[in-house]
Amino acid sequence: MDRVPSDVIYGLTLDGRGGMQPLAAGSEIPAAQPGWLHLDYGNPEAARWLLQTPLLGDAARESLLGQSNRPKLVRMGETVLLILRGINHNKDHRPEEMVALRIFITPDLIISSRRRPLLSEKDVFEQLKLGGGADTPADWLVEICDALTDRAGEFVEELHDQILDLEEQVLMRDLPANGRLALIRKQLIMIRRYLSPQRDLVARLANEKISWLDEDDRRRLLDIADRLRRWLDDLDAGVARTAVLADEINNLMAEATNRRAYQMSVMALLFLPASFLTGLFGINLGGIPGAESPTAFWIFCGSLVALAAGLAVWLKHRRWW
């Protein structure tokens, strides 16, 4: 039996009553009780341990060391390899850049790895710490799938609320900030891209003939797959709603552009007679009326103002504005 690596994130054994017993770094991994080792495969010591431990085969090493990022389920007898995806809540990262959680699980041992932290892994650990967690590796597997699905659902609800805010803003005929709608639409599409195969994977896992998964575990996995399906339906609805919002925003922008163009056209029409008269009276030829009168300029200005006012009244009467 191998020993616990020095840089293990979580090293523990399940006590069978919802609690756990921590394993010290460097201690021997007990064979009598099922255990959970959680590693960051980006750390050199953890990567070295994954490459050298006799507990894993070549396929498991490749999977746990991050050679593939797609959701995957591989069954080898009573051993299961899984790659699941969780919402990225790390600082300075986009939530839709989902984090891969890699799992090697047998009836007696769980080895999991990831590159970036996940809140879901912490949720499962905290439940074990409080004594209300998994009793067996099968329960742990259901709990981690449940935690990943809950976190994904929370993010989908956040996107739903953001879309509602945008819809209210557009109904008030107020344009949203530049790029906000595009970001929400991108997040909807990317989250759906990862959750869709994960739903199929969880449903397939529930139907696999694995002896250490009992009927209650299978029922809970099917329930998780059904919840994922509902989140996917909400994501599809969100994509459709953002498409309608994009059309409405384009209509608002076109309406605003047309309104400004119309206002400029009316202003040009108001000043058109004045431009004609000033051009006519500005020619350098003899015989211009009022050329010798000291009050002719002011009379001419007053005539232009009266002409503009009369034209404005006529346009208003004709309902041009």
Distance from C-alpha of 208 to C-alpha of 90, rounded to nearest angstrom: 33
How far, CA to CA in Å, does 133 sit from each of 87, 136, 315? Answer: 21, 9, 77
- Looking at residue 300, the DSSP 8-state letter turns out to be H
Spatial contact of 113 and 46, defined as CB atoms under 8 Å apart: yes
Task: Give the number of residues written for the chain.
Answer: 321
Inside any domain, residue 187: yes
Overall number of domains in the chain: 1
Inside any domain, residue 292: no
Per-residue pLDDT of the chain in tens (321 residues, 90 and over written 9): 588 888 899 999 999 899 999 998 888 888 878 999 999 999 999 999 999 999 998 889 988 997 677 788 999 888 999 999 999 988 877 888 889 999 999 999 999 999 999 999 999 999 999 999 999 999 999 999 999 999 999 999 999 999 999 999 888 888 788 888 999 999 999 999 999 999 999 999 999 989 999 999 999 999 999 999 999 999 999 999 999 998 888 888 888 788 778 777 877 777 777 777 777 677 666 667 766 777 877 877 888 788 778 877 877 777 666
pLDDT tens column, 64-88: 997 677 788 999 888 999 999 999 9
Residues 6+ apart with CB under 8 A from 201: 71, 72, 73, 82, 84
Inside any domain, residue 95: yes
Distance from C-alpha of 64 to C-alpha of 72, rounded to nearest angstrom: 12
Q: Residue type at 88?
A: N
Letter string b/e over residues 211-240, b meaning 16 or more CB atoms within 10 A of that residue's CB: ebbeeebbebbeebbebbbebbebbeebee
Inside any domain, residue 297: no
- Looking at residue 176, the DSSP 8-state letter turns out to be P
pTM given for the model: 0.80
Spatial contact of 308 and 266, defined as CB atoms under 8 Å apart: no
Inside any domain, residue 126: yes
pLDDT of residue 71: 82
Give the tokens for residue 109: 């041992």
Domain with 10, as residue range(s), is 2-252
Radius of gyration over every alpha carbon of the chain, rounded to an integer in angstroms:
35
CATH number, domain with residue 18: 3.30.460.20
Inside any domain, residue 61: yes
Inside any domain, residue 304: no
Phi, psi of 162 (to 5 degrees): -65, -40
Inside any domain, residue 263: no
Distance from C-alpha of 141 to C-alpha of 213, rounded to nearest angstrom: 10
Strand partners, 83: 72, 102
* Residue 20: CB atoms within 10 Å: 24
3-state secondary structure labels for all residues of 6-63: CCCCEEEEECCCCCEEECCCCCECCCCCCEEEEEECCCHHHHHHHHHCCCCCHHHHHH
The residue behind tokens 């400029």 is: 264
